[in-house]
Chains A and B, each alone.
Chain A
Amino acid sequence: MLETLLSNRTVSVLWEALPRILSAGLTMTIPLTLVSFTLAMVLAVAVALVQYARVPVLSQLARFYIWVIRGTPLLVQLFIIFYGLPSVGIMLDAFPAAVIAFAFNEGAYCAETMRGALESVPQGQLEAGYCVGMSWWQIMRRIVLPQALRTAVPALSNSLIGMIKDTSLASNITVAELFMAGQRVAARTYIFLPIYCEVAVVYLLFCTVITKLQGLLERQLNAHGFQ
């Protein structure tokens, strides 16, 4: 059985598929992840801050946003944005549609991570800031947020790694990313198990790199007093 799985033909197909899968990963999956995650983080910090500061109206809106996003499947959100919105006149290309869906989806989860991290910073840090004359916003920017981000790094890395894999869902709205590249080769050659395993290995490779970077980042932060 192993012979049929790894016949000469299979090996050569796998070999030829590798650059396609890798390049789809590098030109689509990674950019999609990075752009979406960056936007998600901006959104998450804003959503967490309005709740932390208990800004009226905005903090209720934040709860509503998190409730809706967390309560509905990502795939459905992708379909609503890409296939649904055109019927009300909003036409988006596949890539921006995917970015919007992933950013809003991940933003909701990361907002909760950030809110927890913000609340874990002792109240005394704020009080000390007030007593040396700093404003709330200065304290947030220079004292509380840096400490909260440090606390949140492991959980945020989880989210980032999760997101790399979730971008495979974008193949459903015609984004030619890593998974779709593999799918095309499989459909053409009828070699399924080895190709999908190859796809899995490439995802694993990407996630390994992120995990290493996380370790590096944490060591750097620890060396600068964030612990």
Chain B
Amino acid sequence: MAMLEIRGVHKSFHTYAKPGVHPGIFGRAPKPTSSLDVLRGVDLTVEKGDVVAILGPSGSGKTTLLRCLNFLETADAGQLTFDGETFDLAHADRASIARLRRKTAFVFQNYNLFRNKTALQNVTEGLIVARKMPKAEADAVGMKMLEKVGLADRADYYPRQLSGGQQQRVAIARALASGPEIIYFDEPTSALDPELTGEVLAVMRQLAQEGMTMLVVTHEMGFARNVSSRTVFMENGVVVEEAPSQEFFAHPKEARTREFLQKISHTE
């Protein structure tokens, strides 16, 4: 059985004539002046140990899809089955959202480290506060995770004292700390220069080799081709093509995929 199965995810964003408008308690929901269908029925299956790369041009809905899977956005429709339990992406209650989030972790494009916490505290915060782990035990886990990403010597540094690459590695350590079954990566290297990108990708490659299940939205063709086991190409809110990575890059089936890969190869 697949570890993660998503079916029919739809999501639209609405803009309103008046900025910041939201329905008051007695007010009706305001009518949107324009709507954008970002996800138009996305299906995806991830097996345990899979490293799935999601490629696609800007605005194709990759990031929104990932955010819907962890309820950072509420989808308009869609189903997610995780470890045999099915969640309604449009109407999940708080308890099931919390239950799902306990099994997953998320790495953001701009790291989102807690700015008022040290590297170690960033890793242990969720363990101590959300999982009620004793501090000493959490610190031990935290140090182990920082070691894993090569930053044990930066444990007491605050995020602003770290480079972008180091911050992202702390964020990966934070994601690992809770022992997730899958980690979602949202363009983890897009805010980094090539040198720092390398150190983050190295950590992700190591995780892949250790068998961590990962769903990675990325623009790093090298990572998709060489590290990910499967590659998904999205455009205009739908999955255009999906295949084992070797095959995807060697023999893309869809014309649109070929065009995209060609464009990318010019810039690389």
Contacts and interface: CB of A to CB of B under 8 A. Distances in A.
A56 interface: yes
Given A56-B24, A133-B126, A133-B131, A146 B108 contact: no
B129 interface: yes
Which of B114, B126, B160 has most A Cβ within 10 Å?
Answer: B114
Contacts of B115: 125, 147, 225-226
Interface in B60-106: 70-72, 98, 101-102, 104-106
Interface string B23-42: 01100000000000000000
Given A54-B22, A125-B112, A132 B158 contact: no
B116 interface: yes
Interface string A143-184: 100110010000000000000000000000000000000000
Given A132-B130, A134-B129, A138-B129, A127 B25 contact: no
Interface string A36-52: 00000000000000000
B126 A127 contact: no
A129 B130 CA distance: 9
B112 A130 contact: no
A57 B27 CA distance: 12
A150 B108 contact: no
Contacts of B177: 132
What range describes how many residues of A lie at the interface? Answer: 20 to 34
Interface in A183-227: 224-227
B123 to A, nearest CB: 9
A146 B112 contact: no
B125 interface: yes
Given A56-B25, A131-B70, A125 B114 contact: yes
Given A124-B110, A125-B115, A134 B158 contact: no
B174 interface: yes
A130 B25 contact: no
A128 B24 CA distance: 28
Contacts, number: 80
Given A57-B25, A130-B101, A133-B98, A143 B116 contact: yes
Contact of A132 (B116, B160, B178): B178
B166 interface: no
A142 interface: yes
Interface residues of B, number: 33
B148 interface: no
A226 B174 CA distance: 20
A221 B129 CA distance: 22
A105 to B, nearest CB: 27
Interface in A68-93: none
A127 B112 contact: yes
A4 to B, nearest CB: 58
A183 to B, nearest CB: 46
A142 B112 contact: no
A136 B118 CA distance: 21
B116 A226 contact: yes
A132 B22 contact: no
30 contacts: A60-B24, A60-B25, A125-B112, A125-B115, A127-B106, A127-B108, A127-B112, A128-B113, A129-B114, A130-B71, A130-B72, A132-B105, A132-B125, A132-B174, A132-B177, A132-B178, A133-B98, A133-B102, A133-B126, A133-B130, A133-B178, A138-B130, A143-B117, A143-B125, A146-B116, A150-B116, A224-B116, A225-B118, A225-B159, A226-B115
Interface of B: 22, 24-25, 70-72, 98, 101-102, 104-106, 108, 110, 112-118, 125-126, 129-131, 158-160, 174-175, 177-178
Given A124-B110, A225-B158, 19 more contacts: A56-B24, A57-B25, A122-B112, A127-B108, A128-B112, A128-B174, A129-B126, A131-B106, A132-B125, A132-B126, A132-B130, A133-B102, A133-B178, A134-B126, A135-B130, A138-B129, A146-B116, A225-B118, A226-B116
